[in-house]
Structure 1
Amino acid sequence: MVDDIELNRLSWHSRRGMLELDVLLVPFVKEAYPNLDAEDQARFRKLLACEDQDMFGWFMRREEPADPDLRRMVTIILDRVQPK
């Protein structure tokens, strides 16, 4: 279970100052993060430690993360915003 303090902290760290990242990460924390299993939550926290330019490239599908954990998290986030 995720407490409000952790969600607020993650929401703050998800604000990157780059609109393309903010519109993906901030809503993800509020709407999807609490429902992730512990391993995926750890992967998301690992993703937040990455450089903005790297994340931008991954989310714009210009490249993929070499790390399989990060690749999984990028896929989860992108799948969430893709039209069905």
Structure 2
Amino acid sequence: MLHANAPADAADLSRLRWRARRGMLENDLILQRYFAQREMPLSSEEVAALGALLALDDNTLLDLFMRKTPLPEELDTPQIRGLLDTLQRL
């Protein structure tokens, strides 16, 4: 069993990077900057948080990035809020 803060494996990160490729250029730019600025591997907790955000449709995701809509209640966790804050500052 993996610890929540254990680094994600290369296959998980590769899948996540692929899922981060969006149909909307604005989302692509934000997500590409996030991956480019990461100096250390993502933890499995960060992978789960990013995966939850990437499950959203492009318009909802962009609205969250631009602070137009609040985070849906089911996604309002400290991990996802922290990640969203980081993404919004890019």
Distance in 1 (CA, whole Å) between partners of 2:39 and 2:52 is 13
How many residues are matched? Answer: 80
Percent identical among aligned pairs is 30
**Structure 1, unpaired ranges of 5+:** none
Across the aligned residues of Structure 1 and Structure 2, the Cα RMSD in angstroms comes to 2.3
Which fold has the larger relative contact order, with Cα–Cα distance below 8 Å and residues 6 or more apart in sequence? 2
The TM-score with structure 2 as length reference comes to 0.69
Q: Summarize the Cα distance change of 1:72–1:60 in structure 2 as closer, same or farther, 3 Å threshold.
A: same
**Structure 2, unpaired ranges of 5+:** 1-6
SS in 2 for 1:50: coil
Number of the residue aligned with 2:82: 72
Higher relative helix content: 1
CA drift at 1:19:
0.7
